[in-house]
Amino acid sequence: MRVSEKIIEGLLWLSAVITVLVTIGIIWVLLSESIGFFRQVSIVEFLTEKEWTPLFANKKFGIMPLVAGTLLTTLIAIAVALPLGLTIAIYLNEYAHARMRQIVKPLLEVLATIPTVVYGFFALTVVTPFLQQIIPGMAGFNALSAGIVMGIMIIPMISSLSEDAISSVPRSLREAAYGMGSTRLQTSFGVMVPAASSGIIVSVILAISRAVGETMIVAIAAGQQPRLTMNPLVPIETITTYIVQVSMGDVPQGSLEYKTIFAAGITLFIFTFALNNLSFWIKKKYQEKYD
């Protein structure tokens, strides 16, 4: 038993070390290549310029259009996923019978297993034509369709994590609310949701992080036109879409244009790193509060 336990402990330690080394390697590649980019392009221009045209003759290196496109599709996705995901979580926890819960939860998990390229083509060939019948001026590639389908994709993440957070609320709070004469609806939204707010907030932040890093849906359905706009009806380009565009194109490796993908990549890394740490901080803060 001691030998087997030591082997297992060693494998776990090795897995942790490999994870840390891979993360350090990714950061090193991003930083080393980005430094070469910022030696030729001012970081002030990178952060304040309002146009992103590194592949054009008149080159401009303002990341803001890509950031705006990323935030726009993410906001649309959260606007779709948050109310639906939270409503599903409350229904499963407070209203659904055990048999219904056993049916609905696996069906939700199926959404998480669908390849994102399928979601992308669904947005382009189904959602966009449908929305164009309602909004005639909508472009064929647009942020609205991509954001809506991205929201559908992250519904399982919000609903599952929120349902787990609501389930972890002490039963005594629910019974106390019923004892005070509260209805099931009042108990759900007035007691259970506030008590599980830390877990719900964490689920939303993780869903935002997932949406920020999404590639195929926005690459297929949102277009490849970087523009500084919050209009969801026109083509836009996100950070991930641009990275795919350059990586799959004819840009010479080692050129300034090629190095832009590392500058964009480290921007994306900072976004997701900040969001993940924010969720960890919120969870830790609430745990310390209630412990």
Q: In this structure, what token pair is assigned to residue 289?
A: 């509060």
* pLDDT number for residue 170: 84
| All residues at 6 or more sequence positions from 281 whose CB lies less than 8 Å from its CB, including other chains | none
- Give kind and range of the element (H or E) at residue 22: helix 2-38
User: 215 or 112, which is more confident?
Assistant: 215
Asked whether residue 151 carries a pLDDT value surpassing 60, the answer given is yes
User: Can you say whether residue 181 is alpha, beta or left, with left for phi > 0 and alpha for psi between -120 and 50 degrees?
Assistant: left
Average pLDDT for 149-168: 90
* Identity of the residue numbered 249: G
Q: How far apart are CA 260 and CA 41, in angstroms?
A: 10
3-state secondary structure (DSSP) of residue 61 = strand
Comparing CA positions, the residue from 182, 124, 174 lying closest to residue 150 is: 124
Residue range 101-131, pLDDT digits in tens: 888 888 888 888 889 999 999 999 999 999 9
Name the class of domain 64-290. mainly alpha
* pLDDT number for residue 94: 83
Q: What is the mean pLDDT of the chain?
A: 88
Q: How far apart are CA 151 and CA 76, in angstroms?
A: 7
Asked whether residue 79 carries a pLDDT value surpassing 90, the answer given is yes
Q: In this structure, what token pair is assigned to residue 50?
A: 């309002």
Band of the pLDDT at 289, cuts 50, 70, 90?
low
* pLDDT number for residue 202: 86
Asked whether residue 29 carries a pLDDT value surpassing 80, the answer given is yes
Comparing CA positions, the residue from 78, 156, 153 lying closest to residue 121 is: 153
Residue range 227-283, pLDDT digits in tens: 999 999 999 999 999 998 888 777 888 888 889 999 999 999 988 888 888 877 877
- Phi, psi dihedral angles at 140 (to 5 degrees): -65, -40
Asked whether residue 16 carries a pLDDT value surpassing 90, the answer given is yes
Handedness of CA 291, 168, 19, 242 (dihedral sign): negative
Please state which of the ranges 18-22, 195-199, 279-283 shows the lowest mean pLDDT: 279-283
User: 8 or 289, which is more confident?
Assistant: 8
Asked whether residue 51 carries a pLDDT value surpassing 70, the answer given is yes
Band of the pLDDT at 286, cuts 50, 70, 90?
low
Q: Percent of the chain at pLDDT above 70? A: 97
Residue range 165-180, pLDDT digits in tens: 888 888 888 888 888 8
Domain edges within the chain: 2-40, 64-290
Average pLDDT for 74-97: 91
* pLDDT number for residue 119: 94
What's the half-sphere exposure (Cβ side, CA atoms, 13 Å) at 164? Answer: 9
Answering whether pTM is above 0.85, one says yes
